[in-house]
Structure 1
Amino acid sequence: MIAPPPLPAPILDPIVRLALAEDLGRAGDLTSDATLLPGTRIKAEIRARKTGVLAGMDAAAHTLKCLDEGVALDQRLRDSDKLAPGDVIATLTGEARSILMAERTMLNFIGRLSGVATLTAAFVEKIRHTDATIVCTRKTTPGHRALEKRAVRCGGGTSHRYGLDDAILIKDNHIAACGSVGEALKRAHAYAGHLRMIEVEVDTLAQLEEALPHKPHAVLLDNMDTDALKAAVAMIDGACKAEASGGVNFDTVAGIAETGVDYISVGALTHSASNLDVGLDLP
């Protein structure tokens, strides 16, 4: 799999600096300052301790750069690469104090984001026999959305919306406030420019029937069972994209994909991924 490009420095920099400031506090790394002689150099290895998919190396590299551009980082593996226990992900050579100050923040980024990529890859594998695509949602860690959505891409998925400002998604509360699916879609079309996508969430086939004449670009089929999803896909008949959402897990995702939907949104990719165990060792 080809990894997505690294996030640009203006996006990475405030996230990384906040993480470093949180760890270094008011006085820096007291342990390294107390125990390491100036000029002490080491070579260290970042290793995988579990099977998974790598992500977060852009954030890890930026962490090191913020602390000491003189530390050499030699990446042996790249984001999106598969990991096995014991695999050397990267080697670091340079000032011991800098490497040990960076260690936990680097590993936090790699572990968290590799966990997201690994969970995504597992979902993607479950539906590989279909044409459906796994997508993540806005259920992300505050402040880390760009990192986590990139990690989903490292695992073979893609993104729904990045935020409230990149597409119009009419949800149940919007519909309730407007009075009907049709009225909400009329207002959305009147507001949107020609490059703005409009998606509407529907809970029933009756709502879907009301929505389709208003030509949404996509319909979010929320918490429908597989029979209802099949009927919805038949009703849509290619007029717009069909996205399934709600109740998606390892046991249900294949059946959902087999109904013919185009996309399956899975909030768990970012809100429930477990960290992948990685460590830094001195060989």
Structure 2
Amino acid sequence: MNPVFIEKSLKAFLLEDAYFSDITTESLSQNKKAKAIIKAKEDFILAGAVFLNSLFKLMENDFKISLFKQDGELVKKGECIAEVESTDRAILYIERTCLNLLQRLSGIATKARKFAQLLEPYKAKITDTRKTTPGLRFFEKYAVKIGGGVNHRMGLFDAVLIKDNHIKAVGSIKRAIELARRNVSFTTKIEIECSDLEQVRQAIEAKADIVMLDNMSIGQMKEALNLFKGEAIFEASGNITEENVQDVAKTGIDFISSGSIIHHACWVDINMKLE
């Protein structure tokens, strides 16, 4: 993880909450030594604890964080996640930003773990999408990985994914793949979104590296995999839920992408209390 990026992002999160200052804390705080306990109020998979040290370093040089749980671990209701020793001013400034990050990321990690466990009997891996909260993509994708999922491309810059509008823009699947091959590095994989078997055939003939079976029925997925098995990496996408993900996996698909890992993940309940 790039520490410069992490520091810049965490600064932005703190600025959002206290752009000028924390007028309550500045009015009341004695800037004295204090201790706070971060505790779970329900069961979940922890994610985000790795950022606590960097977050507090932005506010206070003299602090100590004792982690009792690590990212990826199951935390039970009532268990202590961490103990923070710093000034009361720093703790009060950071409290909400810290909790927001832990609650959001742990919710995503918990949901990703459910998907990953459902797929354990199959070769398919669950992966995220670019349907992330603006400004939080890196952190949300980190949480997916912590939960046992696999990261898809981080953004528009690290992989080619040709979608229906790209195909319309250039005229055909063949033309789209040809142009991508001509203009990107040989190290870059090319993925193309297909909505029917004819598009899959065209993608395979044009030597796509990855074929996304988008919103296809289970029957269509099976047929595509039977016809073109081994000729590309296959990914299933579109309306993937915890209820149907195993049926999709049974087709023999390689990867299953689901935006719901992130945009349908519920925050978990965590609090921070001064002792």
TMscore range, shorter length:
over 0.9
Within the candidate set 134, 148, 160, 2:152 is matched to 160
Contact kept? 1:71, 1:99, Cα under 8 Å: no
Q: What corresponds to 1:263 in structure 2?
A: 255
Query: Contact 1:60/1:107 (CA < 8 Å) preserved in 2?
Result: no
CA deviations on 1:247-274 (whole Å, 9 max, x unpaired) are: 1011111100111000000111222211
- Written as runs of structure 1 = structure 2, the 5 A alignment for 1:59-74 is 59-74=51-66
The answer to whether the aligner puts 1:136 opposite 2:132 as a matched pair is no
Distance 1:186 1:22 in 2: 44
| 1:21 counterpart = 2:21 | no
- Relative to structure 2, which stretch is displaced further, 16-25 or 223-232? 16-25
Of 116, 122, 125, 2:117 maps to 125
Gaps spanning 5+ residues in structure 1: where? 1-6
Separation of aligned partners in 1, 2:142 and 2:271 = 22
Q: Give the alignment of 1:1-283 within 5 angstroms.
A: 7-26=1-20, 28-38=21-31, 40-283=32-275
229-238 or 256-265, which deviates more: 229-238
Amino acid at match of 1:37: Q
The answer to whether the 8 A contact 2:30-2:88 is kept is no
Partner SS, residue 143 of structure 1 = coil
Any idea what SS the aligned residue of 1:199 has?
strand
Alignment partners' CA distance in 2, 1:33 and 1:167: 47
Find the residue that maps to 2:37 and give its secondary structure. strand
Aligned partners of 1:278, 1:121: CA distance in 2, in Å? 19
Residues 14-66 of structure 1, C-alpha deviations (whole Å, 9 max, x = no match)? 2111111121232x22222333334x222211111121111112333221110
Residue-by-residue CA offset, 1:108-136 (whole Å, 9 max, x unaligned): 11111111111111111111110100100
Q: Which amino acid aligns with 1:14?
A: K
Aligned length: 275
Could you list the runs of 4 or more consecutive aligned residues of structure 1 that deviate by over 3 angstroms after TM superposition? none
Q: Deviations over 1:202-261 (max 9, x none)?
A: 000111111111111110000011111111111221111000000101111110011100
- 1:142, CA displacement in angstroms? 0.8
Give the Cα–Cα distance (whole angstroms) in 1 for the partners of residues 229 and 146 of structure 2. Answer: 31
For the residues of structure 2 that align with 1:60 and 1:140, how far apart are their CA atoms? 22
What SS does the corresponding residue of 2:156 show, helix, strand or coil? coil
Which letter maps to 1:119?
K
Alignment partners' CA distance in 1, 2:131 and 2:200: 25
Q: Structure 1: how far apart are the matches of 2:152 and 2:28?
A: 48
* SS of the residue 1:233 aligns to: helix
CA distance in 2, matches of 1:192, 1:24: 43
Structure 1 contact 170–199 (Cα < 8 Å) conserved: yes
CA contact (8 A) 1:60 1:110 kept: no
Mean alpha-carbon deviation: is it higher for 183-192 or for 172-181?
Answer: 183-192
Matched-pair contact (CA < 8 Å) for 2:161–2:191:
yes
Return the TM-score normalized by structure 1.
0.93
Contact 1:169 1:200 in 2 (8 A): yes
Say whether the 8 Å CA contact 1:111–1:276 is kept in structure 2. yes
